[in-house]
């Protein structure tokens, strides 16, 4: 099983609304998710991309989740995940 390390904040927000895959392991600030769960990973990336493209929003209420979406995408990229290939 291949694990991917991602920040907790965005995952916690996403898992409420949709199936983004299961947490295999957790630390204080990160979750490890199964890289082989293509459906869950695709949903997580799609949601993160949608949020991260709103980085210019002026609403400070959403800024932490938007920044966490961007951090999630960056974490996945650093681990060799081709974000664009999951966006279809």
User: Could you tell me the pLDDT band of residue 86, with boundaries at 50, 70 and 90?
Assistant: confident
pLDDT at 5 over 80: yes
**DSSP labels for the chain?**
--EEEEEHHHHHHHHTTS----EEEE-SSEEEEETT-HHHHHHHHHHHHHHHTTTT---TTTHHHHHHHHHHHHHHHHTT--HHHHH-
pLDDT tens digits for range 27-83: 999 999 999 999 999 999 999 998 888 766 657 778 888 899 999 999 999 999 999
Domain extents in the chain: 3-87
pLDDT greater at residue 67 or residue 21: 67
- Describe the crossing of helices 8-15 and 38-52 by its angle, rounded to 10 degrees: 110
pLDDT value at residue 1: 82
Q: To the nearest 10°, the Cα dihedral for 18, 19, 23, 29? A: -20
Residue 88 has pLDDT above 70, yes or no: no
């Amino acid at each position: 099983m291949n694990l991917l390390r991602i920040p907790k904040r965005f995952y916690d927000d996403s898992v409420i609304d949709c199936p983004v895959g299961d947490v295999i392991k957790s630390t204080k600030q990160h979750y490890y998710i199964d890289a082989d769960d293509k459906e869950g990973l695709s949903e997580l990336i799609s949601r993160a991309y949608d949020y991260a493209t709103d980085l210019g929003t002026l609403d400070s209420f959403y800024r932490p989740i938007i920044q966490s979406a961007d951090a999630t995408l960056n974490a996945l990229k650093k681990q060799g995940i081709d974000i664009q290939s999951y966006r279809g």
